[in-house]
């Protein structure tokens, strides 16, 4: 809830700026000015950088004992109130033999935010520049060494933060109304943020999270570039990137094998080149994404090697998590660490509902992670492989890049079982983008409701799905960005986990 509220706040006031939403209430105390934050450069080409606050400050890693105390100013930032809604609904009637039933689904998320009067704190940058000229970073400090060893992480300092000035609360209400006769049900989730001058909190909710005054809800950072002597620079312009000198990277004690396709800091390992790195062209047949689809098949190869039972279990979890964006983001972070041979940080599990937290543990156990019991032992005897963690991370990362509405519609697609049709569609689109709707694998799209749901899913990914008299046309929209790629990756991954066989009937689509 907290992450959703802060993320919406940042999107509304500064969608393309420097502010970073605080994803965990536990991180608020760590986000003091001049505290250190690690920035993990994007892994897959569609990802945004990940920021992880630490308990260390710049003072802790500098040589010398003289304290650094640049002047700090606090000013009124703004009064923030807003109401945002995201709704998606679908219904269809289906008849199998003599059995008729209806499916109705709607997911409605309403977010009302009133953080009240917000304040901003920032330090005197000119004073810090003078300090940087005279001081150096202690390269033997364990936190510096461990960050350098990861190679795709850089050090940053908190240069400003936005804080609340009064007590607030975030409340969530989930209402489920079952429909008669075989259903998806009606799910309505309301998330509300309220600033309370008198400290009162509405009790007409399922979950309430209190936010005390002076809680950090957003912050910005300045990256550090550290050379081999320990001297460091503050990266003050966007063209200047932080990181470690190549010589330092070459001296690290460990060399974690990188399975990520990324443009990391200098000296980082790189695996095979991504098939798609630039934005997808506008109004072009989706066949242009054949290389991305083929790469996805390779990334998901570890899924194919799993037993059918485990694949079905994973598929069930993936489908359930489509309605829980916070779980998707958490698992993306955890699997990112596991795929890099790191011990995952599972503290955020405490912020999930107990049922969701248990499902996360169950999914990780299926993947081979030995989650420790209270006595320190582990009952999981499966052997974990980095490749399987990477495959799961790849799919969760693609899901995390999709909108909440897209995930909800994808969930409806899973419920009404049109995934095989959509999978066939993306794997068999010719260069002109036209397919005959009379093909056996596309017959479900002749039904108006099925086509509407598929069209909605594709449009949310900037792909135009158009039905003509006897054919279907699939082309990218205007300035589609990376969303069509994410859609193809997700459909490919879901197809493999659900047991759908790849269909590449058109020889012209085979990749050499």
pLDDT tens sequence for the chain (512 residues): 788 788 878 877 776 678 999 988 889 999 999 999 999 877 777 778 889 999 999 999 998 888 888 889 999 887 655 444 444 343 433 332 222 323 343 444 444 556 778 899 999 888 888 888 888 999 999 999 999 888 788 999 999 999 998 888 777 655 444 333 333 443 445 556 666 554 444 444 456 678 889 999 999 999 999 998 899 999 988 778 899 987 676 654 443 223 323 333 333 333 333 334 567 888 999 899 999 899 999 999 999 999 999 999 999 999 999 988 889 988 998 998 888 777 887 877 887 888 888 999 999 999 998 866 655 555 555 666 889 999 999 999 999 989 888 898 899 899 889 999 999 999 999 999 899 988 999 999 988 888 989 999 999 999 999 988 889 999 999 888 889 999 999 999 999 999 985 543 333 333 33
pLDDT value for 116 = 75
> Is 395 in contact with 385 (CB distance < 8 Å)?
no
Q: Which residues contact 301 (CB under 8 A, 6 or more apart)?
A: 387, 391
Half-sphere exposure of 490 (CA within 13 A, CB side): 28
CB 15: neighbour CB atoms within 10 A?
A: 8
Residue with tokens 């969608």: 15
Q: Contact, 388 vs 367, CB < 8 A?
A: yes
pLDDT of 158 reads 96
Tokens 């005279």 label which residue? 134
pLDDT of residue 178: 39
Q: Under a CB-based contact definition with an 8 Å cutoff, are residues 133 and 92 in contact?
A: no
Q: Partners of 187 in the beta sheet?
A: 107, 176
Contact 417, 392 (CB under 8 A): no
CA separation for the pair 280, 278 (Å, rounded): 6
Give residue 43's pLDDT. Answer: 72
Backbone angles phi, psi at 501, to 5 degrees: -80, 145
CA-based nearest residue to 58, from 136, 127, 122? 136
Predicted local confidence at residue 392, as pLDDT:
95
């Amino acid at each position: 809830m907290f992450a959703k509220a802060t993320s919406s706040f940042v999107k509304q006031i500064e969608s393309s700026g420097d502010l970073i939403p605080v994803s965990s209430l536990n991180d608020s105390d760590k986000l003091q000015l001049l505290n250190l934050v690690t920035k993990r450069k994007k892994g897959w080409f569609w990802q945004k950088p990940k920021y992880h606050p630490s308990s260390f400050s710049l003072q802790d890693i500098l040589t010398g004992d003289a304290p650094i105390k640049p002047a700090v100013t606090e000013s009124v930032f703004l009064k923030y109130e807003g109401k945002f809604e995201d709704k998606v609904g679908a219904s269809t009637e289906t008849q199998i033999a003599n059995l008729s039933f209806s499916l109705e689904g709607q997911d409605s998320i309403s977010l009302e935010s009133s953080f009240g009067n917000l304040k901003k704190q920032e330090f005197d940058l000119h004073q810090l520049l003078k300090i940087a000229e005279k001081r150096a970073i202690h390269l033997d400090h364990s936190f510096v060494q461990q960050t350098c060893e990861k190679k795709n992480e850089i050090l940053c300092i908190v240069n400003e933060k936005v804080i609340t000035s009064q007590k607030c609360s975030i409340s969530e209400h989930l209402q489920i109304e079952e429909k008669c006769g075989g259903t998806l049900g009606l799910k309505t989730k309301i998330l509300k943020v309220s600033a309370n001058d008198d400290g009162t909190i509405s009790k007409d909710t399922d979950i309430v999270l209190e936010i005390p005054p002076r809680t950090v809800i957003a912050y910005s950072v300045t990256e550090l570039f550290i050379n081999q002597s320990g001297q460091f620079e503050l990266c003050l312009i966007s063209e200047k990137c932080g990181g470690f000198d190549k010589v330092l990277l070459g001296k690290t004690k460990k060399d974690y094998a990188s399975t990520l396709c990324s443009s990391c800091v200098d000296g980082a390992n790189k695996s095979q080149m991504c098939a798609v790195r630039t934005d997808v062209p506008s109004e072009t047949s989706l066949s242009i994404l054949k290389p991305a689809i083929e790469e996805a098949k390779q990334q998901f190869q570890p899924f194919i090697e799993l037993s059918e039972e485990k694949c079905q279990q994973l598929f069930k979890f993936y489908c359930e998590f489509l309605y829980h964006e916070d779980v998707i983001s958490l698992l993306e972070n955890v699997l990112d660490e596991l795929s890099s041979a790191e011990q995952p940080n599972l503290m955020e599990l405490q912020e999930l509902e107990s049922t969701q937290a248990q499902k996360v543990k169950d999914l990780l156990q299926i993947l081979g992670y030995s989650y420790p019991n209270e006595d320190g032992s582990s009952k999981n005897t499966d052997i974990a492989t980095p490749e399987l963690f990477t495959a799961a991370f790849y799919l969760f990362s693609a899901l995390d890049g999709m909108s909440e509405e897209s995930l909800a519609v994808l969930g409806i697609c899973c419920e009404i079982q049109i995934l095989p049709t959509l999978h066939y569609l993306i794997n068999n689109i010719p260069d002109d983008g036209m397919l005959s709707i009379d093909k056996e694998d596309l017959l479900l799209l002749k039904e108006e409701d099925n086509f509407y749901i598929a069209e909605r899913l594709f449009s949310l990914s900037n792909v135009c799905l158009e039905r003509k008299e006897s054919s279907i046309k699939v082309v990218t929209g205007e300035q589609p960005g990376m969303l069509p790629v994410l859609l193809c990756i997700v459909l490919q991954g879901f197809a493999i986990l659900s047991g759908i066989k790849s269909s590449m009937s058109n020889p012209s689509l085979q990749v050499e």
